[in-house]
A and B are shown apart, each in its own frame.
Chain A
Amino acid sequence: MISKEAVRELEHALGAEFVSCEPAVMDGYAYQPTHAEILGLETKWCPYRPVAVVLPHTTEEVQAVVRICNAHKLQFKALSTGWGIWNAPGSDNVVQIDLRRMDKLTIDTKNMIAVMEPYVSGAQIQAEGMKSGLNVHMVGCGCHASPLASATSLMGPGCSGITTGYSPRNVLGVEWVLPDGEILRLGVPGQGNDEWFYGDGPGPSLRGIMRGTLGACGGLGVFTKCALKLFPWPGPAQPKVEGVLMDAKVEIPGTHSSFLCFLPNLSRFADAFYKISNAEIGYFMGKHAITGALLAGCMPRAYKNLVKSETVRSILTALQNTFVIILCGRTQREYDYQHKVLKQIIADCEGFMLNIGHVPLLHSMLWWGFIRNSLPPAIFRAGGRFTTAFGGFETIDQAVFQSKIGAVIKQELIDSGDMMDDLADNSWGGLYEGSSCLAHQEELAIFDPREPKQNEGVNKYIDKAMEASTKYTITPGIGFGGGGAVPHMLGPLIYNYHHWLLQIKETLDPGNSADPSFFIAPEAEKEKYLRDYARRRPQVARLVEDILAADKKRSDVP
């Protein structure tokens, strides 16, 4: 419950039209169409509604909201564009800070830097950047999502990563409203000159407490501005596009083309990734399970029947080790060179490739869909929902290993009728940072939430994936993001990282006013978080009991 006094103060600070406690509006914020299953939820309704929603317009207004929350012992949680369960309130005492009125963007074209507020989308930055030959890193969520949210607070993989890197590594400065309402600016902006070209120091980089593999998911305050790196775009300043998504028609430059590369097995697949990385070619590149998620996205109904045919199935399976690469030459010379190298690499790896440029309509759809990053929503077409697991960021070999293990787990669940048949290996993943040989692969699972068995199957999949990560010593990716109970479970296996998160949280936010539900459960709430988690995920109940018993034993020692 929120007091009338608190609402009055919020209204005074922001204007009454930017504060709401309307039940229908609150419901809107409690409805999370994606990734609710990582909390073990079987519906899209989150456990808690916010007590109020506020729409601040400036950093000062965000500070005011945070201070009011502190004064009234309310918690707060920010959201930028709101594409997943991570922005959901974690208790019945949370004011949701919806940052959609903070949408300013400036671009320093020479130094390839964009300075943005939270509600600037990837598509907006890209459209502005392209005018100066620049592009931005967007995660696989799509171009509608906020790059600030990704870079400061959540994850980071996306398929242009070979050129545009990985969200958390692209940060060049941050404006951060701490849980007590004070402002911390990281890097050059801290000098007070409104310059945004370097985000570390002086001395140690406080980006180290801002986030790691995963962000704090709103658990350490609110990011009101950040500078991100932009990357070269060797294409038209304003691509001429007609139609959207699957029907997009676009003029593609003669020095660009997209290729579907098929490799005979995962080992040659990995070799091809290494060789491409070492050759420093390619603009966009990703494994896209062309015979799984992508095909299912293009023809959701037909797909379900196709996989029932043994013959079609055997063809699709034979073509499973596939990736898409787009070559974007700035000049014809560059394109010709890259094309020649790619052909040789695929030949050396005993694969074959199709130049999609020879199929203009398909090429239009794929080229624009990938460059604009507009295709991700297609993932919802086949089943209505999807989930994902693994996705640890490491070498190419380890990324491939992750999809291999993921496929084994999924196949068992498909065989037992617990999962939709999508040919098991339905992983997507990118190659990152040019020659760095860094990669990630997530094993996706499409499911129909109306089918109780599939809901259950997805939960089993997530648990088995976590179990496999520890058994096979795979660095967690998505696994880190399962909510505030997770660090307490994974921490003992990973140098007790949860102890340090707790210290950061307690020092920056002693009153626990920034909703910790997707960061780390504070010590006082640990048992509640763990029991909640175990209730929704019976598979981990045993582990939870072990952790709690060990805690009790420790506290019993005089």
Chain B
Amino acid sequence: MVGKKALAGIVGEENVVTDRNILDAFAVDKSYGEGTPPAFLVKPHSTEEVQAVINLAKSEGFPLIPVSSGAPRDHEDTVPACADSVIVDLSDMKKIVRLDRRNKVALIEPGVTFGELHAAAKAAGLRVLMPLLPRMNKSVLASCLEREPFTIPKYQWDTTDPLMCMELVFGSGDIYRTGSAAGPGSLEAQWETGAAQKNPLGPGQWDPLRLVQGAQGTMGIVTWGSVKLELLPREEKCFLAAAEKMDELIEFSYLIQKFKLVDVCFIMNAVDLASLRMDVVGKFPPWVLVYSISGYEYFPGERIDYIEHDIEEMAHATGVLPISGVAGVSAGDIVGAATLPCEGIYWKDRLRGDCRDIFFITTLDRVPRFLDAMAGEAKAHGFPEGSLGIYIQPIQQGRNCHLEFNLMYDGRNADEAGRVRALYETASVRCADMGAFFSRPYGAWAALAYRKDQPTVKALKMVKHMLDPKGIMNPGKLSLGTEV
């Protein structure tokens, strides 16, 4: 086991945490992950310190688990699977290195949270492409690395968005830069010629960013990244389309996204909506499609006006009625609530105190069959309909979607928690059998996601061996093995 002294020699005595309460808390998280408490937690403050920690881990043979966001932790990806691990906590690396209004991009360190970037971007007339109500202390880069969906699908041209370039230290100990940030030249020299680290491809004939994204910290540690931002609308008008059944919204949803007419766009059932807006007294309809139309720098009102009329025609043709509010709450309030970092109690925990999520990628036309299957499973497990939140986030401009079931429950009630766990496990398998694509295979989902795709596992192991030859980076995740 590594000694405190060696770590302190790199990050400084004050940045090595030995408090058992803090360390033991890492052995479990909000999900079903159960692991081994880490030996230490270190807080590096520079790329060089991160590299030195990795090199030490390589030579001494101990596992590293990178974390960037504040607690609570979820999804099992930061629960150490092996003994004697060290948590590399990047939350102190908090610099917004550059915010470029002209090129709409921010270069940030991993400790920068949504709350912080949102405030800085807003001051520059820009907005952050954010997941639905992220926790205030959620790291922007960690969210990007996890491929969390964001609420404005028209701005997602590729799965890597909004992450553009990054600097990282591979498990091999090599410092690397991806995309156009790789050079030639330093960042400063690149800025001089008008570049802003916006090309995510490469360098050359490989795309390391894609190998690190979705890797749950198994390939390396990111020390900064550039994320694309978009203009804050000058004007905005928000709408809802309500339906008894989700199917009724599909055609309309496809249409408004195909032509990139809307900004914010997602579908929710009444349970999730109620969790977003606990203050609403009335009753939400079973399904609601939420969308916004924006006007930017030129004639903003006229842009909203023409799009509103075009959408009205689409709504008419598809039997949908756009409305400006429901149950006493305006569409604007819902969009407002959904597009800010979440203050206070996390929104999914508001209704029952706890929540377990099942999420995967599918397409909008495939969603109804998953809804039926989930309803069947919930019933079979005696799970109340009123606690099953459903959130459908179109991604990649509507070509596919993130479908999320939120199983809300009271975690203090052991019986209920047990039933939720059983439901979670069987429903995950059932959805996988039906073609659900667990693109972010946390915990037990890894086995489900890879069971039919051994060639991918083989290729991933090869990549892992190349980038992290000693296997020190978060071993035990993604079916990539636990050997350090």
A204 within 8 Å of B by Cβ? yes
Interface string of B252-288 (1 = CB under 8 A from A): 0010001110000000000000000000000000000
> B460 to chain A: which residues have CB within 8 Å?
203-204, 206
Is there an interface contact between B205 and A507, defined as CB atoms closer than 8 Å? no
Q: Say yes or no: is A401 at the interface (Cβ < 8 Å to chain B).
A: yes
Tell whether A213 pairs with B194 under 8 Å between CB atoms, given A111-B363, A340-B302.
no
Which secondary structure characterizes the binding site on chain A? mixed
Q: Which of A170, A191, A392, A394 contacts B437 (CB 8 A)?
A: A191
The answer, among B199, B258, B299, B302, for a CB contact under 8 Å with A394, is: B199
A200 touches B207 (CB 8 A): no
Say yes or no for B22: interface residue by CB 8 A criterion.
no
A70 at the interface (CB under 8 A from B): no
- Is there an interface contact between A395 and B258, defined as CB atoms closer than 8 Å? no
A205 to B218, CA, bound (A): 13
- For B157, the chain A residues whose CB sits under 8 A away are 165, 169, 433-434, 436
Query: Smallest Cβ distance from A468 to chain B, in angstroms?
Result: 11
Take A113-B399, A197-B400, A202-B450 as given contacts and tell me if A497 and B206 are in contact as well, using a CB distance cutoff of 8 Å. Answer: yes
Q: Which of A206, A208, A501 is in CB contact (< 8 Å) with B204?
A: A501
Asked if A437 is at the interface of the complex by the 8 Å CB criterion, the answer is yes
Is A490 on the interface with B (CB-CB < 8 A)? yes
Q: Is the CB of A400 within 8 A of B194?
A: yes
Minimal Cβ-Cβ distance residue in B for A217: B205
Q: Tell me the bound Cα distance from A232 to B159 in angstroms.
A: 19
Least CB separation from A491: chain B residue: B204
Give Cα A31–Cα B31 distance, bound, in whole angstroms: 61
Query: Which of B133-141, B182-190, B384-392 contacts its partner?
Result: B182-190
Query: Could you tell me if A206 and B459 are in contact, using CB atoms closer than 8 angstroms?
Result: yes
Question: Could you say which of B204, B228, B440 has the most chain A C-beta atoms within 10 Å of its C-beta?
Answer: B204
Tell me if B183 and A214 are in contact (CB < 8 A): no
Known: A333-B309, A333-B310, A435-B230. A204 touches B299 (CB 8 A): no
Contact A330 B306 (CB under 8 A): no
Interface string of B423-462 (1 = CB under 8 A from A): 0000000000001011111000010011011011001101
Indicate the member of B209, B297, B456, B462 with the most A CB atoms within 10 Å.
Answer: B456
On whether the beta carbons of B435 and A193 are closer than 8 Å, the reply is: yes
Which residues of A sit under 8 angstroms from B190, Cβ to Cβ?
Answer: 473, 475
Count how many pairs of residues, one from A and one from B, have CB atoms less than 8 Å apart in the complex: 317
The one of B159, B180, B296 that contacts A392, using a Cβ cutoff of 8 Å: B180
Verify if B195 is at the interface (C-beta below 8 Å from A): yes
Separation of A476 and B362 alpha carbons in the complex (Å): 36
- CB contacts (< 8 Å) of A216 on chain B: these are 205
User: Are the CB atoms of B398 and A112 closer together than 8 Å?
Assistant: yes
Asked if B211 and A212 make an inter-chain contact with CB atoms under 8 angstroms apart, the answer reads: no
A493 and B185 alpha carbons, distance in the complex (Å): 8
Contact between chains at A201 and B440 (CB < 8 Å): yes
Q: Provide the bound-state CA to CA distance between A334 and B306, in Å.
A: 6
Q: In the assembly, what is the distance between CA of A17 and CA of B154, in Å?
A: 49
Separation of A446 and B446 alpha carbons in the complex (Å): 54
Q: Is the CB of B198 within 8 A of A202?
A: no
Minimum distance in angstroms from B358 CB to a CB of chain A: 15
**Residue contact B180 to A195, C-beta cutoff 8 Å:** no
User: Using an 8 Å CB-CB cutoff, how does the interface string of B298-331 with A read, 1 for contact, 0 for none?
Assistant: 1100110011011001000000000000000000
- Assess the B298–A341 pair: CB atoms within 8 A: yes
A207 within 8 A of B: yes
| Cβ-based interface call for A388 (8 A) | no
A504 to B459, CA, bound (A): 10
Bound CA–CA A493/B204 (angstroms): 12
Q: B406 on the interface (CB 8 Å rule)?
A: no
Once bound together, how far apart are the Cα atoms of A201 and B160, in whole Å?
A: 12
B149-196 CB contacts (< 8 Å) to partner A: 154-155, 157-159, 175-177, 180, 182-186, 189-190, 192-196
- Contact partner of B453 (CB less than 8 A), chosen from A192, A334, A394, is A192
A172–B437 alpha-carbon span in the complex (Å) = 13
- A494 and B456 alpha carbons, distance in the complex (Å): 29
B296 near A200: Cβ-Cβ < 8 Å: no
Which residues of chain B are within 8 angstroms of A378 by Cβ–Cβ distance? none
Q: Which residues of A contact B208 (CB under 8 A)?
A: 208, 500
Segment 435-489 of A: residues with Cβ below 8 Å from B: 435-438, 469-470, 472-475, 480, 487
A340, B303: Cα distance in complex, Å: 11
Residue from A186, A217, A278, A344 whose CB has the most chain B CB atoms within 10 Å: A278
Closest to A472 in B: B193
Cβ of B365 and Cβ of A111 under 8 Å apart?
Answer: yes
Min CB–CB distance A329 → chain B (angstroms): 9
Task: Scan residues 189-245 of chain B and give those whose CB is less than 8 A from a CB of chain A.
Answer: 189-190, 192-196, 198-216, 218-219, 228, 230-231
* Known A202-B446, A203-B478, A341-B299: A211·B207 in contact at CB below 8 Å: yes
> Given the known A-B contacts A213-B201, A394-B196, are A112 and B399 also in contact in the complex, defined by CB atoms under 8 Å?
yes
* CB of B361 closer than 8 Å to a CB of A: yes
* B residues near A495, Cβ cutoff 8 Å: 175-177, 182-183, 203
Q: How far is the CB of B482 from chain A (nearest CB, A)?
A: 16
Interface assignment of A386: CB less than 8 Å from any CB of chain B:
no
Q: A170-198 CB contact bits vs B (8 Å, 1 = yes)?
A: 10100000000011111110111101011
Instruction: Decide: A480 and B202 in contact? CB cutoff 8 A.
Output: yes
CA distance A275 to B185 in the complex (A): 28
Minimum Cβ distance to chain B for residue A196 (Å):
10
**B102 contacts partner chain A, Cβ-Cβ < 8 Å:** yes
**B residues near A520, Cβ cutoff 8 Å:** 205
Instruction: Judge whether A202 and B456 touch: CB under 8 Å.
Output: yes
- Cα-based distance from A216 to B362 in the complex (angstroms): 30
Residue of B nearest to A220 (CB): B205
Are the C-beta atoms of B180 and A393 separated by less than 8 Å? yes
- Note all chain A residues with C-beta closer than 8 A to B396: 229
The one of B204, B210, B259 that contacts A480, using a Cβ cutoff of 8 Å = B204
CB distance from A474 to the nearest CB of B (A): 6
B348 at the A interface (CB under 8 A)? no
* Structural contact, B206 and A330, CB atoms closer than 8 A: no
| CB-based nearest B residue for A199 | B159
Partner of B299, one of A183, A212, A337, A396: A337
Check: B6 CB closer than 8 A to any chain A CB: no
A349 on the B face (CB < 8 A): no
Once the chains bind, are B297 and A275 in contact (CB under 8 Å)?
A: yes
The 7 closest A-B pairs by CB, nearest first: A473-B185, A397-B194, A208-B210, A213-B202, A202-B449, A212-B202, A208-B211
**7 chain-A/chain-B pairs, Cβ below 8 angstroms:** A110-B363, A111-B400, A203-B478, A331-B313, A340-B299, A401-B194, A480-B203
List chain A positions with a Cβ less than 8 A from chain B.
Answer: 110-113, 133, 165, 168-170, 172, 182-188, 190-193, 195, 197-217, 229, 232, 234, 274-275, 278-280, 330-331, 333-334, 336-337, 340-341, 344-345, 392-398, 400-401, 433-438, 469-470, 472-475, 480, 487, 490-491, 493-495, 497-498, 500-501, 503-504, 507-508, 519-520
Q: Assuming A191-B435, A203-B215, A395-B198, what are 10 further A-B pairs, CB within 8 angstroms? A: A187-B437, A202-B441, A203-B214, A212-B201, A232-B260, A394-B195, A397-B102, A472-B193, A473-B195, A487-B205
